[in-house]
Amino acid sequence: MVSPKTRYLIFFQYFGSKYSGVMETSTDQSVVGVQNYMEKAAQNLKPVIPIKFHISSRTDAGVHALCNSAHLDIQRATGKPPFHERELICSLNYHLKSEPIRILSAYRVASSFHARFSALSRTYVYRLLMGCTHHSEIPVFERDLCWAPGGGGLEFWEMEFRSRSFLYRQVRRMVGALVAVGQGKLTPRHIKELLEIKDSRAFPPHAMAPPSGLFLKSVEYNEADLETMMTAGE
C-alpha cells in the first residue's frame, strides 16, 4: 500500500528571458521551458510516481510571470504523510535556486480542482519605457523587462489586461497595435478592418509588441476553492 495522492495548487514566478516559455518542451532542445525545471526539482521529493505540473496560463518565450499557477499531485511512500505547504515551497525553491524561478505559495486543494479550468481570470501587464531613442539608453536592469518604442520624457507606462482567457499573443497584438497607431504606422481605420476580418494572420508582423515587456501578473480563483485548506503562511 502507498499513501493516497495529495493535490496542491502552487503560485510561482519567473524571469522568462532564458526559457522557451512556461510549458514543458523536449529535453534535447538547447532552451527548454520553465515546467522542465520545476518537474526536475520536484523529483527530489522522491514521489512514488513522477510529478506532473498542470500549468494554468501559458506564456511564450521571453514573457515573464509575477505570478503564474499550476496544480500537481504528490503520492508518497507508505507511512509518509503529505507535505506541509511550507515544506513543499522550501524544498522546491531549494532545488530551483540556480534558476530565476521561485515558488511563492502553496495550497492543498480538492482532487477535482484544476489550475487551468478552475481559474476565474488572468491579469497581464505590459510595460512600455517611453523616451528612449536607442536601446542603449534603457537602464541596464530593465533591458529585458520592457519595450522602448520611443517618445518624449523617460517614464514607464503600464497597460493592464484582465480576462478569463486570452487568444494566442492577444495582449502583444493589442499593445503593438496601440503603439503603431501612436507612431502613425497604422490608423484607427486599419484597426477596425483587422477586427472585422477576425483573422490573426492578417495582423502586420511589424506591429507585434515584443515579449520582453509582457508579465503575467496574477491568476484569480474562487476563494472557496482554497479557504478549506491551510495556506503556506499559516
The identity of residue 40, as a single letter, is K
Tell how strand 155-163 and strand 121-130 pair up.
antiparallel
CA distances from 17 to 63, 126, 175 (A): 7, 15, 19
Indicate the residue type of 44: N
Q: How far apart are CA 186 and CA 180, in angstroms?
A: 5
Is 2:77 a contact under the CB 8 Å cutoff? yes
From the list 60, 73, 144, 225, the catalytic residue is: 60
**Residue carrying C-alpha cell 513543499:** 88
Residue 144 among the catalytic residues: no
CA angle 18, 62, 210 (to 5 degrees): 145
Catalytic residues: 60
